Amino acid sequence: MDQPELDKLTWVNSSKTQAKRIQLPDRDRVDWDSLDYWGWRDPKAPQRGYLIVPADDGWIGIALTTTSGGGKKPRAGMCSLCLTPHPMSSIGLFAAPRAGAAGRNGNTVGRYICADLQCSLYIRGILKPEGMSALKETLSPQEKAARLELNLHDFVHQVIDG
């Protein structure tokens, strides 16, 4: 993806006040060529995460929250965006408030996503899922990136349009 230009970045499910408070990581240290979306967890509030996804005329930012720990969990699971298998400890159940009134009324879209929001690096083999034997997938990184892009698009669509 291209490095987001901040004046073309729209946070679709945050108020203006919330959006102003979002702290972007250092953009100079990001390898943009390896990313399909830019995702990070807030180091000061680890239950918060952010995704920036390229769109037709700029970039779309989505704020997420996650809870970790507790509850009955299966031993392993899969990211709903990049389909990388992980132990459950490395997958987060993220909730994105829906855009607009629906979100203000508490409606969210929930997805299991790589807990560190680094899907792009897993599908390219730059990061390896912890404790999982390598999956014999026949798709190339390009094909996985195309699949990730489709799933991202679907997710963004759900957040915006419900």
Binding residues for Zn ion, rule: CB under 5 A, are 79, 81-82, 84, 114, 119
Considering the complex, state which of residue 52 and residue 119 has its C-beta at the smaller distance from Zn ion: 119
30: CB partners within 8 A, 6+ apart: 3, 38
Provide long-range contacts, Cβ within 8 A and 24+ apart, for 24-31.
Answer: 27/3, 30/3
Considering the complex, state which of residue 58 and residue 87 has its C-beta at the smaller distance from Zn ion: 87
* Closest distance to Zn ion from the beta carbon of 46 (Å): 17
Considering the complex, state which of residue 15 and residue 67 has its C-beta at the smaller distance from Zn ion: 67
C-alpha 133: how far from chain center: 23
* Closest distance to Zn ion from the beta carbon of 34 (Å): 14
Considering the complex, state which of residue 105 and residue 110 has its C-beta at the smaller distance from Zn ion: 110
Helix (H) or strand (E) holding 45: strand 45-55
* Closest distance to Zn ion from the beta carbon of 121 (Å): 9
* Closest distance to Zn ion from the beta carbon of 105 (Å): 29
DSSP-based three-state secondary structure for 106: coil
